[in-house]
Chains A and B, each alone.
Chain A
């Protein structure tokens, strides 16, 4: 079945003319049609646009001069702008917003002949850990539909996991790619900050946001990372040598890898069975010649606090643009301020309002130094601890998530929910590349193995991840329900 293939296999068969772009696109559209109601992974499906793109891609493929991913379908998180195709951020405040331009990642994918199948569900404005904050309902995890897929890119993780797309894009501000990748048994990669353009990504916390790929395998993920990376003059934080080149992807080895496991990411927060699966996976790598060292990075324990000050502070500023004037519906009130307040009060969801409140408070006069400035100092401290560790180590490793997929509605405590970002936050703080690779099952649910590496180490990370994935094997990747 086409939908069971990896993106690399689909690409190969397209280039070899064993499959047509239309055949592939129709296979996924038909599966989305029948299965998406069970998962709520897609908020918008663009069948017409996808089929037209497939025919164009076929022309490129027939010319013999097509990009590696030409004709391969991709799903985009619904905070990545798509010209002429509704982009909601899973929020009522821009429920019917039709972007007049493409994000740079979107236009790159179109140029390379990728087929955009549709837009995936997320926590409203990417604010959440379980994807339960969407204004359009939660997403169901294919490993157990009663459980959450993780957030905030839950729809993109489930699209790949449930075979509703061979590839997808998400955004990662505090773990929003890697966390749902771990909970859904797929690979999720956050590149070094600045290697993928943020132009056209609806901003949540600009100093932390990064677009990145999901795939069934490291190879698929790397192919998409290569495609979307590159310098973009439209993003002033885009790095000069941003292009990720994966020519040497398959020439890495586990032997000789130096891995550091911080005590702060392997304490009592980690579920016992998750810990066991992770230890078995680490042992597998040690048997193949890797070295695992227990280390301490003390400032990690302040990561969640630091993140939940910096991210809301930036969000409170970024989300000021949603006022009912240029986009979205308007709730009319007496004056102009009252109109902004009525519109925002009525149409933002509770978690978004909470974070705007936290951010506004942290930036307000009298509290700025105690919260925002201090959090930035801790961010610097944490980053330098990681940088120092990289002088002796290739990667910092840990479970991606302290727990397996929780039941929908199972975690109601705000602090407990936010504490789940413990392992993923540091990479965003330092801008480091970070990847989650499935490494086994606990309670019959997927567990992710996370590697975080030095700035610009993306190529090596993907290469080493490919070798690590071979060591782990891929037998446990497919949800039994499929």
Chain B
């Protein structure tokens, strides 16, 4: 079935059921078009609910977890684009293509979607970081977003590419 929106693309990879507790739990796409509205974050609510209970974090709601990940999104982008530029030390602007942060519980991941924008994703599952499943899903998100946003797609009109 054809995707209707960026959120639909991401949700298709995150899944909708608690069967997906070992994968990514949260994702958001941010377009590079200046002034474009930010897309809504998507998350796998049943999986997140299950994981929060498994970890004994009953005092934290799914909505609260999603909210803090949303707050991290821009901080990560700002911090690491500067570092990627410094790393190359070139006159030509070099891009950070992918960033994987394996933290004590799960991970936070970032990937550029060519010139269209970037996706930020997160998981509370350490197993999905150890097995590479989270990274694999991130790559799938980029691939599917390119298919959706790229030339010849039926995606809604968007602003000019940067």
* A pairs with B: no
Chain A residues packing against B (C-beta within 8 Å) = none
**B residues adjacent to A (C-beta < 8 A):** none
